[in-house]
Each structure stands twice: as structure tokens, then as C-alpha cells.
């Protein structure tokens, strides 16, 4: 098994991509924060279906964490990540330091609107500005033809698409289906924080969302259905529910009956916050 080439500077990243471009190769990128799981690996596979070379960035981005969040304890396991990328046949791992991404005197950030409104922003008000800033930097550094993001972070995917449209970034943003365990739990690096008892509870999140999405598609009152979902999550063992909301699939505007939608939720188990989403079928 060969590990990918590893570079930790923008200059080295650009030099390698210049060589590929010289050979007429198409380049895909998969931005990650590491602690790679099967969901991430599925993104690499999709990237390699769409391009000749795949760059995976591994960078725990401090600007998307609030002071009270888990930046310091976020799992970091670079050697294991590189082994996994080798098996997946990724070509290059970009592993910059914080100083490389945000050098002394860094003073610019991107402020986003549109699909960033509400949901995550109600509870993490600085999150999407941090995400938009680091994603814009990564796409400008690597200049890929396409970039792959998972639908598990559905609001983030919509924000990234808006970012590229608004700033005319010539990158095709590909949304990849959520990868789940055998019980339906969405793969997430933060699942590692959960005890066995908490995992049993966590696996009810997707079940409750799917049942609610079916009810909405069948004509259930939106307010009643989402409130019932909140109650069901608490009854299942979640300590707190931040939101359960239906939104339009493309814009994340408030959902209307008979339109394609997404049902999104965030809920807490102990100190771990889980998010998930499912499709609401149009009728």
C-alpha cells in the first residue's frame, strides 16, 4: 500500500498541481478535518470517478470553532488518516499548519448569508464564516476542477455552493450521499465520543427523522410534525434538541408542502452534538 504524497505548504501544493495540469490531468479535491471514516473515503472514491487526481486536505480549522467548542479535543490521527488515504488511492494529502493557513497578520474573513441563515447559525453564529473562509482558501490554493462534500453536513454543502456561485469560483461542487452504519447512524468523526449506550440512542435520530419526513410528505402539519419529532428525540434519550426543521432542498428557505425538501436536525447526547438530515419527498 502506498500512502499519498504529503505536502504542508501552499507552494508545494501548487507545484504538484501545476505538474498535473501540464500533463492535462483533471484534479478533484476533498476538504476534511481528518479523523477519516468511511464517509470521507466515499468522497475520495467519488472524486476519483470525476477526476484523474485527488487532493485531500486535512486541517482542523480553528476559525469555525467557538471558544466553548471542542477544538482542542477534536480527534487528530494523521498517520491513520494517511494509511486510509493510501488504501483509497488518494494522490496527495495537504496537511497545512495553522500558521500556513492563517499567517501572522491575517485579517480577512468571508461573511455568508442565504442558506447559512438559521439552523446551525442560530447555535454557532461564527461557524459558517469560518467554514466559508477556509473553503475559499483551499479552493483558491488547489484550484481543483471539482470538490466533493458530504450531504451529511447539508447546510454546509448549500453554503459552499452559494459561496462558489457568488464569488465566481470555477469549481464544480459535488454533493455525496451520507454514509451510514448498519443501524442508520450517519458517519461522523464525533461519533468516537459516544459510549455504547449513547450509540444506541444516537441510532434513533435517523429513524425519527425518516418517520417525520414521511409524515410531512403525506401532508402532516409541519409545526406539529417537527414538534412531535423533538418529543420523540427526548423520549429516545437525547438530552437537548437544538432544532428539527424542514427547508427547501436547494435554497434552505422555509419548506412548503409538495416541494422537494430536507428535514434537518441537531441534538445532544452528553457533550456530543449530532446533526443529520433526510430528504422530504415532493408530492
- Residues with catalytic annotation? 40
**Any known ligand binding at 188?**
yes
**Any known ligand binding at 35?**
yes
Distance, in Å, from the CA atom of 144 to the CA atom of 147, rounded to the nearest integer, reads: 7
**Any known ligand binding at 64?**
yes
**Any known ligand binding at 156?**
yes
Strand partners, 173: 147
**Any known ligand binding at 189?**
yes
Q: Report yes or no: 190 and 71 within 8 Å, Cβ to Cβ.
A: no
With the CA atoms of 49, 148, 254 and 227 taken in that order, what torsion angle do they form, in degrees rounded to the nearest 10? 90
**Any known ligand binding at 150?**
yes
**Any known ligand binding at 116?**
no
Sheet holding 272-280, edge to edge: 240-248, 261-269, 272-280
**Any known ligand binding at 153?**
yes
Spatial CA neighbour of 241 closest among 252, 251, 229: 229
DSSP conformation letters of 12-47: HHHHHHHHHHHTT--EEEEEE-S---HHHHHHHHHH
**Any known ligand binding at 261?**
no
- Residue 230 makes CB contacts below 8 A (sequence gap 6+) with 241, 244
**Any known ligand binding at 38?**
yes
DSSP conformation letters of 179-198: PB-TTSPBP-GGGGG--HHH
**Any known ligand binding at 152?**
yes
**Any known ligand binding at 223?**
no
With the CA atoms of 81, 41, 57 and 92 taken in that order, what torsion angle do they form, in degrees rounded to the nearest 10? 80
**Any known ligand binding at 190?**
yes
- Which residues line the annotated binding site for ATP? 33-40, 150-153, 179, 187-190
- Which residues line the annotated binding site? 33-40, 64, 150-153, 156, 179, 187-190
- Which residues line the annotated binding site for beta-alanine? 64
Amino acid at each position: 500500500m502506498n500512502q499519498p504524497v504529503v505536502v504542508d505548504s501552499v507552494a508545494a501544493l501548487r507545484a504538484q498541481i501545476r505538474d498535473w495540469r501540464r500533463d492535462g490531468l483533471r484534479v478533484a479535491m476533498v476538504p476534511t478535518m481528518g479523523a477519516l471514516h468511511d464517509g470521507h473515503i466515499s468522497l475520495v472514491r467519488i472524486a476519483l470517478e470525476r477526476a484523474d487526481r485527488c487532493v485531500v486536505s486535512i486541517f482542523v480549522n480553528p476559525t469555525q470553532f467557538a471558544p466553548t467548542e471542542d477544538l482542542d479535543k477534536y480527534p487528530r490521527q494523521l498517520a491513520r488518516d494517511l494509511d486510509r488515504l493510501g488504501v483509497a488511492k488518494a494522490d496527495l494529502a495537504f496537511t497545512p499548519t495553522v500558521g500556513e493557513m492563517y499567517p501572522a497578520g491575517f485579517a480577512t474573513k468571508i461573511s455568508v448569508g442565504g442558506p447559512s441563515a438559521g439552523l446551525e447559525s442560530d447555535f454557532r453564529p461564527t461557524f459558517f464564516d469560518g467554514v466559508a473562509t477556509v473553503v475559499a482558501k483551499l479552493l483558491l490554493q488547489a484550484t481543483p476542477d471539482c470538490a466533493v462534500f458530504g450531504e451529511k453536513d447539508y447546510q454546509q454543502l448549500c453554503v459552499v455552493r452559494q459561496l462558489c456561485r457568488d464569488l465566481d469560483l470555477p469549481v464544480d461542487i459535488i454533493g455525496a450521499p451520507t454514509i451510514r452504519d448498519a443501524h442508520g447512524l450517519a458517519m461522523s468523526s464525533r461519533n468516537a465520543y459516544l459510549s455504547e449506550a449513547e450509540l444506541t440512542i444516537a441510532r434513533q435520530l435517523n429513524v425519527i427523522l425518516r418517520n417525520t419526513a414521511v409524515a410531512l410528505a403525506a401532508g402532516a402539519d409541519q409545526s406539529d410534525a417537527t414538534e412531535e419529532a423533538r418529543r420523540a428525540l427526548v423520549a429516545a434519550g437525547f438530552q437537548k434538541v437544538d432544532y428539527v426543521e424542514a427547508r427547501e432542498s436547494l435554497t434552505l428557505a422555509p419548506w412548503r408542502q409538495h416541494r422537494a425538501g430536507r428535514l434537518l436536525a441537531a441534538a445532544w447526547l452528553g457533550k456530543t452534538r449530532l446533526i443529520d438530515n433526510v430528504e422530504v419527498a415532493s408530492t
